[in-house]
Amino acid sequence: APFRSQEKKKKESIFDLSKYIDKPIRVKFQGGREASGVLKGFDPLLNLVLDGTIEYMRDPDDQYKLTEDTRQLGLVVCRGTAVVLICPQDGMEAIPNPFIQQQDG
């Protein structure tokens, strides 16, 4: 059957993080915090252990804007309940805003 059966009791993850072990990843959290580090461990609840972690600090005036500022945190446990996004460190980049309409002047 192509779909997962509802009778299956065992909790399975839809994504296997073990392919990212020992690789640098970027993590975003509820509340706007962002960090990256080398993935050293995880559990089914998405709690993560990151090594050599750096946190990207946000603009105090605009909570959603990142600054150049970072801080070193080292060995860190990230709570799965707060994680909203995980991607490989080289898996994203900033681009110019594709939604800006050019005004005719």
Partner 1 sequence: MWLSCEQFLPSKLWSLQKLVDKCIGSRIHIVMKNDKEIVGTLLGFDDFVNMVLEDVTEFEITPEGRRITKLDQILLNGNNITMLIPGGEGPEV
- Which 76-95 positions form the footprint of partner 1 (CB under 8 A)? 76-79, 81-82
d(CA 21, CA 8): 28
- Which 37-66 positions form the footprint of partner 1 (CB under 8 A)? 40-43, 47, 49, 51-53, 55, 60
Q: Which residue has the tokens 């945190």?
A: 73
- 73 is a site residue for partner 1 (CB under 8 A): yes
**Binders of partner 1: how many residues, by CB under 8 A?**
28
Residue 13, CA distances (Å) to 20, 85, 94, 95 in order? 15, 15, 29, 31
Stretch in the footprint of partner 1 (CB under 8 A) among 7-15, 75-83, 85-93, 95-103: 75-83
Residue 33 makes CB contacts below 8 A (sequence gap 6+) with: 55, 58
Stretch in the footprint of partner 1 (CB under 8 A) among 7-15, 28-36, 85-93, 94-102: 28-36
Task: With beta carbons less than 8 A apart as the criterion, state whether 34 and 47 touch.
Answer: no
Q: Which of 5, 6, 14, 31 binds partner 1 (CB under 8 A)?
A: 31
d(CA 35, CA 33): 7
Binding stretches for partner 1 (CB under 8 A): 21, 29-31, 33, 35, 40-43, 47, 49, 51-53, 55, 60, 71-79, 81-82
